[in-house]
Amino acid sequence: MKRNISQEIEPLKALQEFTSARIAIGRVGTSIPLKQSLDFKLAHAHARDAVYSELDSEHLTAAFKQFDLPVLHLHSQVTARRQYLQRPDMGRKLNEASLTLLEDYFVYTDIAIIIADGLSATAVNENTTGLLKELIPLLSASGFKFAPISLVEQGRVAIGDDIGYNLNAKLSLVLIGERPGLSSADSLGAYLTYNPKPGLTDETRNCVSNIRPKGLTYKKAAKKIFYLISEAFKRKLSGVDLKDNDGLIES
């Protein structure tokens, strides 16, 4: 007996409660329904918009006053968004003016918090303050000392190595807009590196991903980041040798 379309998708509908992925959307002949097709195109447009969004530096700077830390406005070697997308290497390094600015803040400290637009400034604008409200009190209560917050335009993850090294910090924490997906154009990523310095590669970092209200919540993300930072200082390393064992029961 031939099954109709509703019979085919019905068993999957219950899963829609747990994910924003496109499942159980149905079909019309060999194609997807018109509404779902238009939703897909709209999501694609939102993703493209996120890639070309800009940091709201004024709003972020005002919001960060509550943390009682200086805010440094820095810039990568990139001069235009098209160049950022075509030359990832230039987004990983600071320009000369930014390097000069950091010379005045070369004081031995524990953690350098770096906030960069990445591939979605929208994610940074919407989620960074909420995450830091949860995270900074946890770190402060454990006695960690902070370098000034760095707000970076046209930056990629590895720019945290340049900044952490030039701020003489033991650890860099980069909060950056992640590559937007078709269901999450506002996803924030956190990358931490112990003993940051120019020339490091991705295996030296730990990542906490999909930080946003509809993904990993600020409170849960802050708890996970705090655990990883605490372990990084305890073991004096980060990256592939630092595992997220939080909550695991030893046998």
For 38-54, how does the pLDDT look when each residue is reduced to its tens digit (9 = 90+)? 776 776 666 665 666 78
Count of domains observed in the chain:
1
What is the predicted pLDDT for the residue at 154?
A: 94
Q: What is the pLDDT of residues 231-242, one digit of tens each?
A: 999 999 999 999
Contact 172, 163 (CB under 8 A): yes
CATH of the domain at 228: 3.40.50.11240
Give the residue numbers spanning the domain of 61: 57-235
What span, in angstroms and rounded, lies between the C-alpha atoms of 3 and 72?
62
- Top-confidence residue, 113 or 10: 113
What is the predicted pLDDT for the residue at 1?
A: 45
What is the predicted pLDDT for the residue at 2?
A: 47
Confidence at 203, pLDDT banded by 50, 70, 90: very high
pTM of the model: 0.83
What span, in angstroms and rounded, lies between the C-alpha atoms of 6 and 217?
34
Residue 242 lies in a domain: no
Q: Are strands 188-194 and 205-211 parallel, antiparallel or unpaired?
A: antiparallel
What is the predicted pLDDT for the residue at 250?
A: 46
Residue 39 lies in a domain: no
Q: Check whether 27 has a pLDDT greater than 90.
A: no
User: Within a 13 Å sphere around the CA of 190, how many CA atoms are in the beta-carbon half?
Assistant: 26
Q: Is 90 helix (H, G, I), strand (E, B) or coil?
A: helix
Rg (CA), the chain: 21
What is the predicted pLDDT for the residue at 43?
A: 63
Residue 31 lies in a domain: no
**Mean pLDDT, to the nearest integer, of 138-163?**
96
Structure tokens at 170: 């033991």
Residue 9 lies in a domain: no
Residue 243 lies in a domain: no
Q: What is the pLDDT of residues 165-202, one digit of tens each?
A: 999 999 999 999 997 766 677 899 999 999 999 999 99
What span, in angstroms and rounded, lies between the C-alpha atoms of 141 and 40?
45
Structure tokens at 140: 């402060």
- Percent of the chain at pLDDT above 70? 84
Q: What is the pLDDT of residues 64-112, one digit of tens each?
A: 999 999 999 999 999 999 998 899 999 999 999 999 999 999 888 999 9
What is the predicted pLDDT for the residue at 244?
A: 82
Contact 118, 152 (CB under 8 A): no
Phi, psi of 213 (to 5 degrees): -55, -35
Residue 197 lies in a domain: yes
CA distances, 174 to each of 31, 62, 89, 149, 242 (Å): 42, 19, 17, 10, 17
Q: Check whether 20 has a pLDDT greater than 90.
A: no
**Mean pLDDT, to the nearest integer, of 152-156?**
95
Q: What is the mean pLDDT of the chain?
A: 88
Structure tokens at 10: 């019905």
Residue 250 lies in a domain: no
Contacts of 58 (CB under 8 A, 6+ apart): none
Confidence at 8, pLDDT banded by 50, 70, 90: low
Residue 122 lies in a domain: yes
What span, in angstroms and rounded, lies between the C-alpha atoms of 201 and 67?
30
